[in-house]
Amino acid sequence: MIKPKKVLIVDDSSDALALARVRLGKEGLEVVCADGGKSGLALAAKERPDLILLDLDMPDLSGFDVCRALKADEELCMIPVIFLSGSGGPEDKVKGLDLGAVDYVTKPFDAFELRARVNAALRTKHMQDLLIEYAKIDPLTGLANRRALMERLAQEWARIQRHGGQLSFIMGDVDHFKRVNDTHGHLAGDRVLREIAAAIASQCREIDLPTRYGGEEFAILVPDENAEGAGRLAERCRQAVEAIRVTVGSETSRPTASFGVADAAAAGSAEAMIQQADEALYRAKSAGRNRVEGPRPGLAAANSTP
């Protein structure tokens, strides 16, 4: 079942709140109410609504102030705002739209107009959410892409800085991938990449983030594990890739991949952790491919080739 859309109404008039709650409740929307600007901002942060209906005239904070605060907040700025106001002056409308509101409804509002404007804003929000989601997915493999990885890496790095804990990073690269493309063609190459993506994802826990880093490179962000734990995951991925058979015509492609592992403990920054995983991957390649290398030479994570 689809989760109902959540609408936050911020208005100091209890009549307006009650009316809007009833009208929108009938539409199957989940409605939450705040009776002032400050409580509205707090509720927006807590509830993360899909849409905010915002009264212009309130005693503690004006609707303009609330809108400004919402738009300045990285977490809340994408929530569409519709202003509600008793006055219908063009200056207020223009100012509201300039502040980033998507629409404006004059009170006392007509129930049909309110419903239509709310639904239009929610449709736009839905498309926007899809675009944001698609922008983070690699279309070929369906894995998260590098953009999503870098975002999540920044969050996880900040988390361990604040609260401590472990974080690891795995970099993987398909061995001799150019040969697959040259021998079997690019469509076969795409199939191999999709199979490898699925094999890697199948070994990851819910909290890990397997991603297509680019080309034939895959990266996995591994929270709550040091390099030894992440090394075991990399080894399982290596084995899962080794088991893949992609048949093209009369020939069968048997891809393998090499992996490098690093952890936050040995790196001073998120960038350094990626760099160290990259270096470990390079060692795995030089040592013969189809293997896992740990963060420090001679300290191979969970090696590996039988």
Contact residues for Mg ion, defined by CB under 5 A: 12, 55, 57
12 or 224, CB closer to Mg ion?
12
CB of 32: closest distance to Mg ion in angstroms? 18
Pairing of strands 217-223, 6-10: unpaired
Cβ proximity to Mg ion: between 63 and 294 the closer is 63
Closest CB to Mg ion among residues 21, 232? 21
| Number of Cβ within a 10 Å radius of residue 168 | 31
Cβ atoms of residues 211 and 146 within 8 Å: yes
Q: How far is the CB of 109 from Mg ion (least distance, A)?
A: 13
| Spatial distance between the Cα atoms of 142 and 207, rounded to a whole number of angstroms | 17
Q: Which is nearer to Mg ion, 92 or 138 (CB)?
A: 92
Q: How far apart are CA 290 and CA 252, in angstroms?
A: 18
Beta bridge partners of 9: 33, 53
Catalytic-residue membership of 235: no
For residue 105, the number of C-alpha atoms closer than 13 Å in the C-beta half-sphere is 25
Give the burial string for 28-67 (b: 16+ CB within 10 Å, else e): ebebbbbbbbebbbebbeebebbbbbbbbbbeebebbebb
Sheet containing 217-223: which strands, arranged edge to edge?
Answer: 209-214, 217-223, 167-174, 257-263, 292-293
Q: Which residues contact 264 (CB under 8 A, 6 or more apart)?
A: 157, 160, 166, 167, 168, 273
Cβ of residue 63: shortest distance to Mg ion, in angstroms? 8
CB of 23 or CB of 191, closer to Mg ion:
23
Quote the least distance from Cβ 16 to Mg ion, whole Å: 7
| Residue 301 φ then ψ, to 5° | -60, -55
Point out the catalytic residue in the list 156, 195, 216, 235: 216
Minimum CB distance to Mg ion, residue 147 (Å): 41
Phi/psi of residue 201, nearest 5 degrees:
-60, -35
Compare residues 55 and 156 and give the one whose CB is closer to Mg ion.
55
What is the Cα–Cα distance from 276 to 169, expressed in whole angstroms?
A: 9
Rounded to an integer, what distance in angstroms lies between the CA atom of residue 240 and that of residue 256?
9
Six-digit token string for 194 = 């999709």
Give the shortest CB-57-to-Mg ion separation in angstroms. 4
* Beta-sheet pairing, 292-293 with 257-263: parallel
Catalytic residue numbers, as ranges: 216
